[in-house]
Structure 1
Amino acid sequence: MTRRVRPTQFMPAERENRDTVIRQYSLFACNEPLTCTLDGVSTGVLILNSRRQIVFANRSFLDMIRLREIRDVLGLRTGEAIGCIRSDMNEDGCGTTEYCRECGAARAILSSLNGHDTLKDCSILLNDDPNALNIRVKTVRVEMMGEAFTVFSISDIGDEKRREVLERIFLHDVRNTAGGIKGFSCLAADELCEDPVRHMNMITDLSEKLLDEIDSYHQLIRAENRDLKIAPVRFETGTLLEKVRSLYSHHEVAENRELRISPGTENLTMFTDEIILLRVIGNMTKNALEAIAPGQSVTLSCAREGEKVRFEVHNPGIIPPDAGLLIFQRSFSTKGPGRGLGTYSIKLLSEHYLRGTVGFTTSATGGTTFFGIYPGEISES
């Protein structure tokens, strides 16, 4: 009788039973030179069976996930042991969702199962941490007593990714702005300058932009370190949207593009951190303006949703399905390597400081709408 395989959105769901996992664990646990060697390395190492289940984990991996006993992870899959938020989206677990198709770790394991040693970088969103776990994984296929296994090693590259972000985003943007200040300063100092007042105004605008870029990065670092304090004030949502429109209508990303507020927008009163919310809606707006072509428009709106307040930023573009699966991860961006703070900070600031939820919808007919839903009032605690 042929055993029916349950369909999934990526890799198979089937697992070995507990007795088989214990037997496979014994193959490695009884090899003392091997276990001592693996426990002696600083890199987390797993051994996975052909169903992608953990049959051995070294001490460094257990320390990384804050567990003492290997029995707590035996039979689990990698994402389930680490705490990936996608691993419990359905009953089939790690490796079976549409999101897993874009996961570097899952793809490395699949490659190993097909006989190819693989090195991949991966960013995993965790259940209990606002920061994505940035890791580098290497998979190697091995055989033990006639059975195929995957050696899965994992290194934390979070610091490396942060340095990359600092160098390619923050320093890049600051250098460009500082270069603009220098250029207009030289023009304003030129004796032949026909409009020094205009150039001085440009220097003032660029100086404010430079300070905003520094503040934005500093705010993100404090948020990741859970050191950001909220300061709720009472304000009207109409005023906040006008500030966003005023700030970005003359931004370089808005050149030949229209930024408007929907005529049906409600003007509601909120008691929350206006500065953080302004940053969030501003990032949504900047991303939307970058996503559209000259001549197109971005629309801001606000409405009551039960006892909460819903903000929306709409543009006529469309987000490809593969990009949509990763869009809120720290190092991901549609604009190329080394970008990817805008949408990540939207989620981090909204969910962990403003106590809201964020998401987006996208379609060829309706365009793309990013939204944030927030309590009308929050406390400082």
Structure 2
Amino acid sequence: MTLPTDFAPAERTPLPELQELADIIKKNPMTAAFHAQPVPLLMINNCRQTVFCNSSFQSIAKSKSPYETVGLRPGEALGCIHSVAHEGGCGTSIFCRDCGAAASIIKSLEGKAHTEECHILRKSADFNEALDLQVFTSPFKYEEYELVIFTVLDISHEKRRKNLEHLFFHDVLNLATGLRYASQMLCRSSASDRIHEQCLKMDNTISQLTEEIQAQRDLGKAEEGKLKVAIRPTSSKGTLKKIWDMYSSHPLCADRQIHIEEFEDFYFNTDPTILIRSLGNMVKNALEASEAGETITLGCQKDGEQAHFWGHNNCFIPAKSQRQIFKRSFSTKGEGRGLGTYSMKLLIEKHLQGKVWFESTPEKGTVFSISIPMNEEQTTE
């Protein structure tokens, strides 16, 4: 007789049979390796019941003994509030239709390795505790038994961080937009040249703030492979002119100069926002490395099917530091820095299919180069 269910089958293997299999598995030397793993792991049978639980899973399940989980389904072992919403237990309620763990287990019972996110609320003394898990399942044959290896990673901190980042970027960008609007309204409503000049400086500062916030937001998207690329015709001279406009009034440029070498303008297809962001990081690094009174030089040239941008400063990078350039958290400027060259390489090479490199000698200083495909060349009208 088939038991009622709103999703996965409710039938269970009798506990004596499960205990017998659990004892067989326990005697296998491989279980010592499973217990040594820092990743929570279960072995479950074709009725989704546990026959083995490693020490790490026992810890997150808050059980006193691995034998407490034998016969339980994953949601029951973890204390999911929906595991008691239906008489059939874990996997059988209407809530289980949206459960990543249940979906992943079913895929592996069909013979496929699978992974899903699973968001569980489990009952505790004074509140329902939220668990955000990445579930991995894989078919596993043990002697004549068809089992599933079920492992989980706790991604709660990562999910909370992403949610907080999203709220932060959203709210701060809205605040910056409001400040910019206020400064523009003040500028329009005043006839004073002095106030007009100060409003323009304020507007420029807010623009730089907005750009920095967007750059940090997009770096996170780029690392996750979620950054959208918008290819369109782009002017080489227009790109460097925008860089000059952005950074010639930057605080870093207060006692330094930015010079653009003369070259013939040409058009190419790329994402100008990503390119300008990468060039901006190159310029900021050069300005920070330069001494007061020095000039950094920017240039661009057509190199076959590539658009080659470069930036020069007089600073020499020691060999030890050169070997660390482009690593995510390395910086010569102190702890908490080091994303500039890393993000240049990530954005250009992963998203624009270009190349980023540098050369540094005591005699010639340092030149950072960015080369990106021309794609279909565009011409000005």
Give me the TM-score of the superposition, normalised by structure 1. 0.52
Following the alignment from structure 1 to structure 2, what is the Cα–Cα distance between the partners of residues 59 and 267?
Answer: 65
Whether 2:273 is the aligned partner of 1:275: answer yes
CA drift at 1:31: 6.6
Query: Deviation per CA, 1:26-81, whole angstroms, max 9, x where unpaired?
Result: xxxx97675343136559xxxxxxxxxxxxxx999xxxxxxxxxxxxxxxxxxxxx
CA drift at 1:276: 1.0
Query: Deviation per CA, 1:278-309, whole angstroms, max 9, x where unpaired?
Result: 11111111111111001111111111222111
Whether 2:342 is the aligned partner of 1:356: answer no
> What does residue range 157-196 of structure 1 map to in structure 2 within 5 Å?
195-196=194-195
CA drift at 1:238: 1.0
CA drift at 1:373: 1.0
- Tell me the matched-pair count: 235
CA drift at 1:248: 0.8
Following the alignment from structure 1 to structure 2, what is the Cα–Cα distance between the partners of residues 352 and 325?
Answer: 21
Which of these residues, 293, 296, 305, is aligned with residue 295 of structure 1? 293
* Structure 2 equivalent of residue 92 of structure 1: none
Q: Residues 226 and 255 from structure 1, CA distance in 2 versus in 1: closer, same or farther, beyond 3 angstroms?
A: same
Following the alignment from structure 1 to structure 2, what is the Cα–Cα distance between the partners of residues 361 and 59?
Answer: 51
Following the alignment from structure 1 to structure 2, what is the Cα–Cα distance between the partners of residues 313 and 237?
Answer: 14
Amino acid at match of 1:243: K
Whether 2:365 is the aligned partner of 1:375: answer no
Amino acid at match of 1:35: A
Q: Residues 362 and 195 from structure 1, CA distance in 2 versus in 1: closer, same or farther, beyond 3 angstroms?
A: same
Following the alignment from structure 1 to structure 2, what is the Cα–Cα distance between the partners of residues 246 and 40?
Answer: 52
* Structure 2 equivalent of residue 197 of structure 1: 196
* Structure 1 equivalent of residue 143 of structure 2: none
Following the alignment from structure 1 to structure 2, what is the Cα–Cα distance between the partners of residues 344 and 279?
Answer: 12
Contact 1:232-1:378 at 8 Å conserved across structures: no
For residue 198 of structure 2, give the secondary structure of its aligned residue in structure 1. Answer: helix
> What does residue range 75-224 of structure 1 map to in structure 2 within 5 Å?
195-224=194-223
* Structure 2 equivalent of residue 238 of structure 1: 237
Amino acid at match of 1:220: L
Q: Residues 356 and 59 from structure 1, CA distance in 2 versus in 1: closer, same or farther, beyond 3 angstroms?
A: farther
Following the alignment from structure 1 to structure 2, what is the Cα–Cα distance between the partners of residues 283 and 274?
Answer: 14
CA drift at 1:199: 2.5
Query: Deviation per CA, 1:77-99, whole angstroms, max 9, x where unpaired?
Result: xxxxxxxxxxxxxxxxxxxxxxx
Contact 1:234-1:271 at 8 Å conserved across structures: yes
Q: More displaced, 358-367 or 336-345?
A: 336-345
CA drift at 1:197: 2.6
Unaligned runs of 5+ in 1: 1-29, 44-57, 61-154
Following the alignment from structure 1 to structure 2, what is the Cα–Cα distance between the partners of residues 344 and 363?
Answer: 21
* Structure 2 equivalent of residue 39 of structure 1: 37
Q: Residues 365 and 42 from structure 1, CA distance in 2 versus in 1: closer, same or farther, beyond 3 angstroms?
A: farther
Contact 1:241-1:261 at 8 Å conserved across structures: yes
Whether 2:305 is the aligned partner of 1:307: answer yes
Amino acid at match of 1:296: E
> What does residue range 318-357 of structure 1 map to in structure 2 within 5 Å?
318-357=316-355
CA drift at 1:246: 1.6
CA drift at 1:243: 1.0
* Structure 1 equivalent of residue 225 of structure 2: 226
For residue 195 of structure 1, give the secondary structure of its aligned residue in structure 2. Answer: helix
Amino acid at match of 1:366: K
Contact 1:272-1:378 at 8 Å conserved across structures: no
Unaligned runs of 5+ in 2: 1-27, 42-53, 57-153
For residue 299 of structure 1, give the secondary structure of its aligned residue in structure 2. Answer: strand
Following the alignment from structure 1 to structure 2, what is the Cα–Cα distance between the partners of residues 361 and 222?
Answer: 29
Following the alignment from structure 1 to structure 2, what is the Cα–Cα distance between the partners of residues 201 and 37?
Answer: 64
Q: Residues 274 and 38 from structure 1, CA distance in 2 versus in 1: closer, same or farther, beyond 3 angstroms?
A: same
For residue 229 of structure 2, give the secondary structure of its aligned residue in structure 1. Answer: coil
For residue 303 of structure 1, give the secondary structure of its aligned residue in structure 2. Answer: strand
Following the alignment from structure 2 to structure 1, what is the Cα–Cα distance between the partners of residues 226 and 302?
Answer: 30
Larger radius of gyration: 2
* Structure 2 equivalent of residue 251 of structure 1: 250
Contact 2:299-2:311 at 8 Å conserved across structures: yes
Q: Residues 194 and 371 from structure 1, CA distance in 2 versus in 1: closer, same or farther, beyond 3 angstroms?
A: closer
Following the alignment from structure 1 to structure 2, what is the Cα–Cα distance between the partners of residues 304 and 237?
Answer: 9
Percent identity, please.
Answer: 34
Query: Deviation per CA, 1:304-354, whole angstroms, max 9, x where unpaired?
Result: 222111111111101122222222122222111111221111011101111
CA drift at 1:220: 1.2
Following the alignment from structure 1 to structure 2, what is the Cα–Cα distance between the partners of residues 294 and 354?
Answer: 34
Query: Deviation per CA, 1:232-266, whole angstroms, max 9, x where unpaired?
Result: 11122011111111211111111111101123x34
Contact 2:314-2:366 at 8 Å conserved across structures: yes
Amino acid at match of 1:199: Q
Q: Residues 232 and 336 from structure 1, CA distance in 2 versus in 1: closer, same or farther, beyond 3 angstroms?
A: same
* Structure 2 equivalent of residue 317 of structure 1: 315
Following the alignment from structure 1 to structure 2, what is the Cα–Cα distance between the partners of residues 367 and 40?
Answer: 48
Following the alignment from structure 1 to structure 2, what is the Cα–Cα distance between the partners of residues 290 and 369?
Answer: 14
Higher relative contact order (CA 8 A, sep 6+): 1
